[in-house]
A and B are shown apart, each in its own frame.
Chain A
Amino acid sequence: EVQLVESGGGLVQPGGSLRLSCAVSGFTFSNHWMSWVRQAPGKGLEWVANIKKDGSEKYYVDSVKARFTISRDNAKDSLYLQMSSLRADDTAVYYCARVPAGAVAGHFDYWGQGTLVTVSS
C-alpha cells in the first residue's frame, strides 16, 4: 500500500524557518518525481515545488523561489521542504504528493494527509 506521511508543521513567527518531512512507503521512491502542494485555509490548491527522481532538477512556484528548498533522500525514502523567511501568506496545509512514474510536470496520483503550517506572531 502506497503511503505518504508528512510531519514538521506547526506555528512559526513571520521571518522564521521550518522543515517539513514526508516519509513514503509502498513503492520505489527513487522511480518518481515528487511534489509539495499547499492549500491555504478555505482556499484552493497551489503547487509549490517538484524534484526529479535523483534530486538533480528542482522547480518552484515563483512565490517561494529563493525561500523554499525541496530535497530528497532516496536511501531514507524521504522528501523534504526547507522553508525560510516565512510570511503570513505561507500559512497552509502542505501536502506531499507523488508524480506517476514516467511523468515530470505530472498530475499527482497519491497524496499524504497534509501538515499544517501557521505563520503568525
Chain B
Amino acid sequence: EIVLTQSPATLSLSPGERATLSCRASQSVSSYLAWYQQKPGQAPKLLIYDASHRATGIPARFSGSGSGTDFTLTISSLEPEDFAVYYCQHRSNWPPTFGQGTRLEIK
C-alpha cells in the first residue's frame, strides 16, 4: 500500500496570501495524484486530477504540480472560501489511498 504524507498538518495564512501544500508518496505514483477540498459537514470536492489538471469549474488560483513521489497544491491568492481541509489521493495501484489532510486555517 502506498502511503501519502501531507505537510504541514495545519497551515495558518491570511486572505490574499499564497498557500503551498505538499504531498509525498512512499513510492512513485507517476502523475496519478488528485487533490480534494473538504469543508465542514460537506463531501470532498475534486480540485486537481492527474497532478496538474484542474477539475471542471475550479478557479485558476488552484494549481497542482509534481510527479513521482513529490506533489504540490498551490493556491495563488487565498479567498475566504478556501479555508478548509485538503486531501491528496493516488490512483497508481490498488488500493487507492488518501493523505491524512492539511487544514488550512485563517491566521
Interface residues on A, range: 20 to 34
Q: Are B93 and A107 in contact (CB under 8 A)?
A: no
For window 15-65 of B, CB contacts with A under 8 Å fall at: 34, 36, 38, 42-46, 49-50, 55-56
| A residues less than 8 Å from B34 (CB atoms) | 107-108
Q: Is the interface of B mostly helix, strand, loop or mixed?
A: loop
Q: A11 an interface residue at 8 Å Cβ cutoff?
A: no
Stretch at the interface among A18-26, A42-50, A68-76, A79-87: A42-50
Name which residue of chain A comes closest to B98, CB basis. Answer: A45
Binding site for B on A (CB under 8 A): 44-47, 59, 61-62, 95, 100, 103, 105-114
Interface flags for B77-97 (1: CB within 8 Å of A; 0: not) read 000000000010101111111
B55, B98, B101: which contacts A47 (Cβ < 8 A)?
A: B98
Binding site for A on B (CB under 8 A): 34, 36, 38, 42-46, 49-50, 55-56, 87, 89, 91-101
CA distance A111 to B43 in the complex (A): 6
B42, B46, B93, B98: which contacts A44 (Cβ < 8 A)?
A: B98
Q: Are A108 and B87 in contact (CB under 8 A)?
A: no
B38, B43, B94, B98: which contacts A105 (Cβ < 8 A)?
A: B94
Name which residue of chain A comes closest to B53, CB basis. Answer: A107
Q: Are A107 and B43 in contact (CB under 8 A)?
A: no
Sample (27) of A-B pairs whose CB atoms are under 8 Å apart: A44-B98, A44-B99, A45-B36, A45-B87, A45-B89, A45-B98, A45-B101, A47-B95, A47-B96, A47-B98, A61-B95, A100-B49, A105-B93, A107-B46, A107-B49, A107-B91, A108-B44, A108-B46, A108-B89, A109-B46, A109-B56, A111-B43, A111-B45, A112-B43, A113-B42, A113-B43, A114-B43
